[in-house]
Amino acid sequence: MRTKPDKISILVVNGRDIHRDGHGYLLDPADWDKHVAIAIAKEEGLELNDEHWAIIDFMRDYFNEHEIPADARFVFAFLSGHLSKTNKEGRRHFFELFPYGYVKQACKIAGMRQPRAWSTG
């Protein structure tokens, strides 16, 4: 049985065509920049603040260093340390910032490809 290929969508940001899969994830993480993040966040109904950017920057730095996206637990631990809170409080605050979660919103806004299977924390 054949499966249909994912639908490709294009997001135009500052005159650049940003190619995405049918769920809105970047096909090429190298296309990401802060303008792309702002455009995707707007689609998600989010206005990014300094706390969002701290998380996104951590995720991008991790990706650039390790060549794989950070697991959600690393992001929650980063946020807990950043806020000087417990891991449980950091995780709770994460979901206040990204109500649809790590994979659905944070990874998409941070320019990650759509994950196949990840721990969502």
In this predicted structure, the answer to whether residue 87 has a pLDDT above a threshold of 70 is: yes
pLDDT at 36: 98
Domain of residue 102: give its range. 9-109
* Pairwise pLDDT comparison (2 vs 59), residue with the higher score: 59
For 67-115, where are the alpha helices, taking DSSP H only?
A: 72-83, 87-97, 101, 108-109
Give mean pLDDT, residues 106-119: 80
Residue 119 lies in a domain: no
Residue 35 lies in a domain: yes
Residue 14 lies in a domain: yes
Q: The CATH number of the domain where 81 resides is what?
A: 1.10.10.370
The count of structural domains within the chain is 1
Tracing tokens 């969508």 back to the chain, one arrives at 9
Residue 54 lies in a domain: yes
Residue 13 lies in a domain: yes
What residues contact residue 18 under an 8 Å CB cut-off, 6+ apart? 10, 11, 12, 26, 31, 36, 39
Residue 73 lies in a domain: yes
In this predicted structure, the answer to whether residue 3 has a pLDDT above a threshold of 50 is: no
Residue 116 lies in a domain: no
pTM: 0.86
Give mean pLDDT, residues 89-116: 91
Tracing tokens 């196949």 back to the chain, one arrives at 116
pLDDT digits (tens, 9 = 90+) for 30-64: 999 999 999 999 999 999 999 999 999 999 999 99
Distance CA 87, CA 91 (A): 6
Residue 29 lies in a domain: yes
